[in-house]
Amino acid sequence: MKMKIALLSGDGIGPEVIAQAVKVVEAIGKKFGHHITFEKGLVGACAIDATGDPYPDATHEICVGADAVLFGAIGDPKYDNDPKAKVRPEQGLLRMRQKLGLFANVRPTFTFPSLVHKSPLKLDRVDGVDLVFFRELTGGIYFGEPRGRNEQGTKAFDTNVYSKEEIVRLARMGFEAAQKRRKLLTCVDKANVMATSRLWRETVQELAPEYPDVKVEYEFVDAVAMRLIQWPKAYDVLITENLFGDILTDEASVISGSMGLMPSASLGAKVKLFEPIHGSYPQAAGKDIANPLGTILSASMMFDYAFGLEAEAKLISDVVNQSLAEGIVTEDIAEGGKAYKTSEIGDWLAARILS
């Protein structure tokens, strides 16, 4: 198969972890006979520095012309520490999602047998956790208008807006995923308070009869926030709006024991983007110590969700589990043993794929 992949390394540790994902993707291409080409684009702080724009038109064209996008991270302290900055790296991320139509963020949370003891939760609560969030990504309070402050600067306002169409397309993805998993879907909302949440619940209730094999539960977001810690194995597929999903997926990510291990996908009708859930971690940039496994597992999701190549995706997941079991890990999870460099992890995984 021919594949054209856009590489948006971004800021901080982004270039280092993306480089390791490229090693793994190239090894998969060689093993399975795929012809894979890459094209690089700028996004985030590095794009501002080079062009003044956190998401340049040239980068957008690269993404639109690719079969899939591998993305690293966005963020730089010089912008984080300047609340008056008119152009910010995160604006590039939001604009990228909107322009590419990436309306569904897919965030799995699972545990690794060799690392389950690193979870902050008790073993009986987390062993065997395997859930996935479908977060609506281009609507809600992050994009609603009007927004801003009054003339005096004494009040600020953001508008939360959802259309039925936006809810339907995200919910259908959730239902279809549930059909392939444990056939349990949870709609997360705040329907006792918010009009947008009532629309979410009503819309999901209307769709549910089309998926009679899926059990649907409806829970308020505050209850889910508690149960994710109390008993995360109670969940399988969860669907929710942008803001709630942003918060809950970060909460869920620590269940595995390390945010550096978790992948994600952002899916649109035409473009599919894959990225680790961690940030740019500027303190580690250039030191060859960052954990690349979240990015590499995002590449695994890419082969599955973008190309329908389950064997390739599984092989990447398998060799990542082998690396964890054998202690081929970076310093964040080394636990007193040898800490391998970011680049050494990529080399080891690529070699194991080709062995």
Which amino acid, one-letter code, is at 199? L
* Residue 30 bears catalytic tag: no
- Active-site pick, 53, 127, 142, 347: 142
Q: Which residue has the tokens 């520490």?
A: 81
213 HSE (CA, 13 A, CB side):
9
- Active-site pick, 67, 80, 130, 246: 246
Give 222-270 as a 3 state SS string: HHHHHHHHHCHHHCCEEEECHHHHHHHHHHHHHHHCCHHHCEEEEECCC
* Residue 222 bears catalytic tag: yes
- Active-site pick, 79, 162, 190, 236: 190
Name 235's Cβ contacts closer than 8 Å, sequence gap at least 6. 131, 184, 186, 224, 227, 228
Could you tell me whether strands 130-136 and 237-240 are parallel, antiparallel, or unpaired per DSSP bridges?
Answer: parallel
Cα dihedral value 137, 140, 142, 147, nearest 10? 160
- Active-site pick, 40, 82, 233, 250: 250
CB 174 within 8 A of CB 239: yes
> What is the C-alpha separation between 220 and 233, in angstroms, rounded?
18
Could you tell me whether strands 272-276 and 263-267 are parallel, antiparallel, or unpaired per DSSP bridges?
Answer: antiparallel
* Residue 246 bears catalytic tag: yes
Tokens of 97: 């999602």
* Residue 270 bears catalytic tag: no
> What is the C-alpha separation between 32 and 217, in angstroms, rounded?
41
* Residue 189 bears catalytic tag: no
Beta-sheet strand order (sheet of 215-220): 35-40, 2-10, 68-73, 272-276, 263-267, 104-110, 130-136, 237-240, 184-189, 215-220
Helix (H) or strand (E) holding 153: none
Beta bridge partner(s), residue 38:
5
- Active-site pick, 222, 270, 314, 318: 222
Could you give the residue numbers annotated as active site?
Answer: 142, 190, 222, 246, 250
